[in-house]
Amino acid sequence: MDTTTVNIAERLWIGQIGHAFIVLSLVAALVSAISYYFYSKEELTSEWKKIANYSFTIHSISIIGIAATLFFMLFNHYYEYSYVYQHSNNEMPMQYIMSCFWEGQEGSFLLWAFWNVVLGNILRKTIDAKWEAPTMAIFALVQVFIASMLLGVFIGDYKLGSNPFILLKENPQYANLPFLQVENYIAKIDGRGLNPLLMNYWMTIHPPTLFLGFSSTLVPFVFAIAGLWKRDFTTWQKPALTWTFFSIMILGTGILMGGAWAYEALSFGGFWAWDPVENSSLVPWLVMVGAGHVMIVNKNKGGSLFMTHLLAIASFLLVLYSTFLTRSGILGTSSVHAFTDLGMQGQLVIYVLTFLLICVVLLIHDKLIRVSYIMLSFLMLFFGIVFGYKIILLLIWLAVSFVLTIYSYMKFFPKEDDEESLYSREFWMFVGSLVFLLSSLVITYFTSIPVLNKLFSLEKAPIKVADYNLWQVPFAIVALLLVAVTQYFKYKKTDPKQFLKHIRISALLAFIFGLSAVIPLYFLKDYSSSSSVDKWNLISYALLFISALFAVFCNLDYWMRVLKGKLRHAGASIAHIGFALILLGALISTSKKQTISQNTSQKNVASLGENFNAQKSLVLTIGDTLPMGNYLVTYKGKERKGIDVFFNMDYFTKDKDGKLVKAFELSPLIQDNPRMGQASHPDTKHFLGSDIYTHVTYGVLSDTKEVKDDAYKTPTNFVGHMRDTIFADNAIILIDSIMTNLTEEQYTKNDSLLIVTAVLKATDINGNIYRATPKYILKNNMVLPDEFELKELGLKFIFWKINPNEGSIEIQMSEKVNNTKDFVVLEAYMFPFINVLWIGCIVMVIGTIVAIIERRRINKLKAQ
Amino acid sequence: MKKIHILGIVVIAVAIGVIFTSLQSSATYSDFAEASANPDTEYHVVGKLNKTAPIQYDPKINADECSFMMIDNKGIEKKVVLHKSVPQDFAKSEQIVLIGKMEGNEFHADEILMKCPSKYNDGKPQA
């Protein structure tokens, strides 16, 4: 790297401090991991413990130091640094400086490392002495890997990590920019700023929450690994349980915030699009929910040990895998918002595989197999780096690892002898966790299509949203049924009659309410016109609806009758009600989402094609009022505020006397950013029962103040047959008929004067019909110019040619300059009962918090 | 047979089902030549917008239709009719993926995915 020409104004010291912190954090984490390892081997030697603890403290301080340094640079606009230049600028208000911090990849790794440090310190202060060393050893090892992603050093030609503290002129993308050659350039430049698409409060709260969620999956993971390592498969689960439910709560919140952001501020037209980036945060959550539930089984009865380890480990590994998916550039065209490739693909693959290797190695309880597996892995890695064949080697390695996992499970893992009863809670909770695992595996498989393409040289296109829904609805139905009934089973053995007695009221209510809602919703409407809805979908929607209601009623009933309405014990019931409401809200708002912007404009009558049913857009000219759903909508005009162009719409309803009453205003906008391009932001009116969502798909951003100009534009020529249409800016013109003053016989005899009249029918926006009759006059074989002006519409026609062979006529039309009025094309949807979804989210989070508080209280009571 | 075995069978059945459907139903990335050969099959065609040819969009005639010329990865150029309003910043797109079928000599697409230089990532010009 060339830093020989030091510019006086460059503040190199701060970057050096930052990089020093990075190196220190990496080294300290490594020392900490090694010392914790030795400490765990010989628990009597407290020397290792001291070193381990001190080095983890140093690591923590360094991570905070890196963050503080980066923040200081952003806050003080040190544009000589690439990260500051790329992500901030002078006008940036305080809350967005935070957002700049994690907008880039390096910053988001740093945020991840920061949360890990926070959680790691809480963990080591609260954990039993027995588990401290093994869990923290793994924890520190993970931190080594994350810190290395910030390193940015070259090993040969290979760049390890990406350093956030490189100078602008060290960044190959900017190194040759001319302004960098100027002396004292720092004083003259301004940063590129935050992507305006991200400049909203979601960007301030969503990433920290989501990354805390990702971090939180690490704690159950280190516990499970420690359990495998120390071959104590049970005692770690009690302390890990609270952490697991914390993870479920916070990761769930992060994901739902992402959905809310997509719905409120981006123009997806929904809250969930099965985008790979969304999926890769959902999958670890599903697995973590499974892990939490089998842990509860183990706490009360024991039995699902292997499943617990599998799920607790898989959740974090899937976070790592999703990091690989979204940050390696492998998603390519299948995701709209994956990060750019920073050349870390190889590194990320190695990380995922390393942790997979550790898991399998710890599972194998046989020295010979263990050592040969490790040797084989390193040999294969070496061979792959030196000779290639990486993909084949990877597949072989994965197969070997899989076989060894199965073998170790059969051979070395403790298993229950007696079979669980069909009428036991533990059996159905196990099945529930399995359903969550299966669901997440299906999503992972679909999301991984680009990876499979690369592995097997395929050309498969990404899976469609409809296929995701098709596969996930059955899982959701089974999950809801289990959520409803499982709590009525007792551990070990339940009386089936008692069980049926408990659930019958809820079942009855669910059927009555469910059927009375489902029949009008899905079966009374005629769907024959739309092809996308088939019968199977409708049946599965109906089943989902009824199961969701069943789950709500059962849990309410359990809370009220069995738990006697006590809030303290009701965490699980409340969270389950929330879960059911989320699915219910998602189902209704998605399946009954209505496009209300179907084109009702008179103008389109002529072009009603086969696609009319599929039409989604409405053209709205300024001043027009058109019906849209239950409303009439008017486009009032646009205003520009900074880079945002707002399109103001008034929505009217009709009162009893048929008079228009203004109901509300919406101002969807198009952001016109010179750097990022144009982005459409929707505007949504929220009602209790439904949302009216509107976004502009096409609008002219430049100011088109109405031109007070009476002049005509240059005429355009139209060649047309009878019944053809001509489109003017303000009308549709139909060639209705053609009349002559002479018959053909008369014309051939007497060629003195021929008059052919074209009768044109012009329909304006409001449906008024005007007649224009331009004439073709032929006198003594000369065409006499004749102009017909349609004053009402500001149109002029000249009928100047007849092509007898083609049977067509030619007409010149000119329009007045000010006929062209400003217009927008918009799409509008009605989302019914989407509030059920949001209420469900809040209820689920509250329920989980109640459960965590209760768990902590019980743990404290027991400890006393 | 234990219940756990029944569950195992269900798991394997789901796995087979998923793999089978993904191999059967999911469309493949392709080019215009293949799409022309099978006019009834849906394809994902990857290519670039021909920026020298005009993008035709007249919302007053049909707000849900625009047409343009696209050059696929094999270099074949075809007229594309997209049954949507013209995407924002279309002219700046670097790579586009169309989902649709060939009809005559035109490719009719219902969906479009665009890779713009800088929409959701952090605005770096890509190499």
- Residue pLDDT, tens place only, A62-71: 999 999 999 9
Instruction: Say whether B83 and A603 touch across the interface (CB within 8 A).
Output: no
Residue B126: is its pLDDT beyond 50?
Answer: no
Please identify, among A172, A199, A226, the residue that sits at the C-terminal boundary of a domain.
Answer: A199
Domains of chain B: 28-115 (2.40.50.140)
Q: Does some domain include residue A208?
A: no
Q: Does some domain include residue A521?
A: yes
Q: What integer pLDDT is reported at residue A193 of this predicted model?
A: 79
Q: Round to the nearest angstrom and report the end-to-end CA distance of chain A.
A: 60
Average pLDDT over residues A288-315: 90
Instruction: Categorize the per-residue pLDDT at B117 as very low, low, confident or very high, splitting at 50, 70 and 90.
Output: low
Residues A52 and A169 in one domain: yes
Average pLDDT over residues A129-152: 92
A714 touches chain B (CB under 8 A): no
Asked if A426 contacts A491 with a C-beta cutoff of 8 angstroms, the reply is yes
Mean pLDDT rounded to a whole number for chain B: 80
- Report chain B residues whose CB lies below 8 A from the CB of A825: 59, 63, 85
How far is CA A591 from each of CA A6, A370, A693, A832, rounded to the nearest angstrom?
A: 62, 52, 16, 9
Q: What integer pLDDT is reported at residue B124 of this predicted model?
A: 32
Q: Does some domain include residue A162?
A: yes
Please identify, among A183, A199, A215, the residue that sits at the C-terminal boundary of a domain.
Answer: A199
Residues A560 and A685 in one domain: no
Please write down the long-range contacts of A375-379, taking CB distance under 8 Å and 24 or more positions apart.
A376/A400
Asked if A219 contacts A291 with a C-beta cutoff of 8 angstroms, the reply is no
Q: Does some domain include residue A317?
A: no
Q: What integer pLDDT is reported at residue A146 of this predicted model?
A: 92
Residue A5: is its pLDDT beyond 60?
Answer: no
Q: Does some domain include residue A434?
A: no
Q: Which of residues 194-253 of A touch B (CB under 8 A)?
A: 195, 197
**Among A225-229, A655-659, A738-742, which stretch is predicted with the lowest mean pLDDT?**
A738-742
Residue A687: is its pLDDT beyond 80?
Answer: yes
Please give the residue that has the higher pLDDT: either A190 or A233. A233
Average pLDDT over residues A200-227: 93
Residues A78 and A135 in one domain: yes
Instruction: Categorize the per-residue pLDDT at A523 as very low, low, confident or very high, splitting at 50, 70 and 90.
Output: confident
Residues A764 and A682 in one domain: no
Average pLDDT over residues A333-347: 62
Torsion of CA A573, A248, A58, A146, to 10 degrees: 180
Residues A750 and A693 in one domain: no
Residues A85 and A145 in one domain: yes
Distance from CA of B2 to the nearest CA of A (A): 7
- Report chain A residues whose CB lies below 8 A from the CB of B123: 86, 192, 195, 675-676
Average pLDDT over residues A305-315: 93
Q: Which of residues 68-97 of A touch B (CB under 8 A)?
A: 86-87
Instruction: Say whether B7 and A611 touch across the interface (CB within 8 A).
Output: no
Residue A35: is its pLDDT beyond 90?
Answer: yes
Average pLDDT over residues A147-166: 85
Residues A195 and A55 in one domain: yes
B125 touches chain A (CB under 8 A): yes
Q: What integer pLDDT is reported at residue A606 of this predicted model?
A: 37
Average pLDDT over residues A154-159: 76
Please give the residue that has the higher pLDDT: either A443 or A613. A443
A705 touches chain B (CB under 8 A): no
* Residues above pLDDT 90, as percent of chain A: 35
**How deeply is B54 buried, as exposed, middle or buried, from its count of CB atoms within 10 A (0-12, 13-18, 19+)?**
exposed
Phi–psi pair at A428, nearest 5 degrees? -75, -30
Instruction: Say whether B60 and A87 touch across the interface (CB within 8 A).
Output: no
- Report chain A residues whose CB lies below 8 A from the CB of B92: 677
Asked if A490 contacts A440 with a C-beta cutoff of 8 angstroms, the reply is no
Residues A571 and A611 in one domain: no
Residue A114: is its pLDDT beyond 90?
Answer: yes
Determine the length of chain A: 864
Instruction: Categorize the per-residue pLDDT at A680 as very low, low, confident or very high, splitting at 50, 70 and 90.
Output: confident
Closest residue in A to B113 (Cα) is A333
DSSP-assigned letter for residue A45: -
Average pLDDT over residues B26-43: 84
Please identify, among A592, A621, A641, the residue that sits at the C-terminal boundary of a domain.
Answer: A592
Mean pLDDT rounded to a whole number for chain A: 85
Residues A32 and A79 in one domain: yes
**Among A433-442, A518-527, A623-632, A714-723, which stretch is predicted with the lowest mean pLDDT?**
A518-527
Q: Does some domain include residue A140?
A: yes
Closest to A544 measured CA to CA, from A490, A570, A583? A583
Q: How far apart are CA A139 and CA A149, in angstroms?
A: 16
Q: Does some domain include residue A127?
A: yes
Distance from CA of A608 to the nearest CA of B (A): 9
Reported pTM: 0.86
DSSP string, A744-786: HHHHHH--SEEEEEEEEEEEETT--EEEE--EEEEETTEEEP-
Question: How many domains would you assign to chain A?
Answer: 4
Please give the residue that has the higher pLDDT: either A193 or B43. B43
- Report chain B residues whose CB lies below 8 A from the CB of A615: 63-64
Average pLDDT over residues A787-815: 86
Bridge partners of residue A755, in order along the sequence: A777
Instruction: Say whether A192 and B123 touch across the interface (CB within 8 A).
Output: yes
Instruction: Categorize the per-residue pLDDT at A218 as very low, low, confident or very high, splitting at 50, 70 and 90.
Output: very high
Instruction: Say whether B29 and A420 touch across the interface (CB within 8 A).
Output: no
Instruction: Categorize the per-residue pLDDT at A290 as very low, low, confident or very high, splitting at 50, 70 and 90.
Output: very high
Closest to A590 measured CA to CA, from A466, A679, A502? A466
Bridge partners of residue A798, in order along the sequence: A787, A812
Q: What integer pLDDT is reported at residue A737 of this predicted model?
A: 84
Q: How far is CA A278 from the centre of its chain?
A: 4
pLDDT tens profile A342-356: 667 778 888 899 999
Residues A691 and A806 in one domain: no
**Among A202-206, A557-561, A766-770, which stretch is predicted with the lowest mean pLDDT?**
A766-770
Q: What integer pLDDT is reported at residue A531 of this predicted model?
A: 44
Q: Which of residues 8-37 of B touch A (CB under 8 A)?
A: 11, 14-15, 18-19, 21-22, 25-30
Instruction: Categorize the per-residue pLDDT at A591 as very low, low, confident or very high, splitting at 50, 70 and 90.
Output: confident
Instruction: Say whether B121 and A340 touch across the interface (CB within 8 A).
Output: yes
Residues A535 and A584 in one domain: yes
Instruction: Categorize the per-residue pLDDT at B58 as very low, low, confident or very high, splitting at 50, 70 and 90.
Output: confident
- Report chain A residues whose CB lies below 8 A from the CB of B94: none
- Report chain A residues whose CB lies below 8 A from the CB of B21: 467, 471
Nearest by CB to residue A434, choosing from B7, B88, B127, is B7
Q: What integer pLDDT is reported at residue A840 of this predicted model?
A: 95
Distance from CA of A162 to the nearest CA of B (A): 14
Q: What integer pLDDT is reported at residue A536 of this predicted model?
A: 77
pLDDT tens profile A369-418: 999 999 999 999 999 888 878 888 999 999 999 999 999 988 888 877 66
Amino acid in position A148: S
Distance from CA of B1 to the nearest CA of A (A): 11
Distance from CA of A182 to the nearest CA of B (A): 22
Instruction: Categorize the per-residue pLDDT at A530 as very low, low, confident or very high, splitting at 50, 70 and 90.
Output: very low
Q: What integer pLDDT is reported at residue B108 of this predicted model?
A: 92
pLDDT tens profile A557-573: 999 988 888 888 899 99
**Among A34-48, A179-193, A388-402, which stretch is predicted with the lowest mean pLDDT?**
A179-193
* Residues above pLDDT 70, as percent of chain A: 90
Distance from CA of B3 to the nearest CA of A (A): 8
A433 touches chain B (CB under 8 A): no
Range of the domain at A165: 1-199
Q: Does some domain include residue A618?
A: yes
Q: Which of residues 36-95 of B touch A (CB under 8 A)?
A: 44, 46, 57-65, 83-86, 88-89, 92, 95
Residues A11 and A86 in one domain: yes
- Report chain B residues whose CB lies below 8 A from the CB of A467: 21, 25-26
Q: Which of residues 599-618 of A touch B (CB under 8 A)?
A: 599, 603-604, 607, 609, 611, 614-618
Residue A107 tokens read as 């910053």
Nearest by CB to residue A607, choosing from B61, B88, B123, is B61
Q: List all residues 6 or more positions away from A621 whose beta carbon is below 8 Å from its beta carbon.
A: A635, A765, A821, A822, A823
A761 touches chain B (CB under 8 A): no
Average pLDDT over residues A31-53: 86
Q: What integer pLDDT is reported at residue A607 of this predicted model?
A: 42
Residue A73: is its pLDDT beyond 60?
Answer: yes
Asked if A423 contacts A485 with a C-beta cutoff of 8 angstroms, the reply is no
Q: What integer pLDDT is reported at residue A398 of this predicted model?
A: 94
Average pLDDT over residues A488-515: 87
Distance from CA of B101 to the nearest CA of A (A): 14
Q: What integer pLDDT is reported at residue A45 of this predicted model?
A: 67
**How deeply is A181 buried, as exposed, middle or buried, from its count of CB atoms within 10 A (0-12, 13-18, 19+)?**
exposed
Average pLDDT over residues A27-39: 94
Residue A120: is its pLDDT beyond 90?
Answer: yes
Q: How far apart are CA B11 and CA A475, in angstroms?
A: 12
Assign 3-class secondary structure to A676-717.
CEEEEECEEEECCCEEEEEEEEEECCCCCCCCCCCCECCCEE
Instruction: Say whether B85 and A604 touch across the interface (CB within 8 A).
Output: no
Q: What integer pLDDT is reported at residue A1 of this predicted model?
A: 43
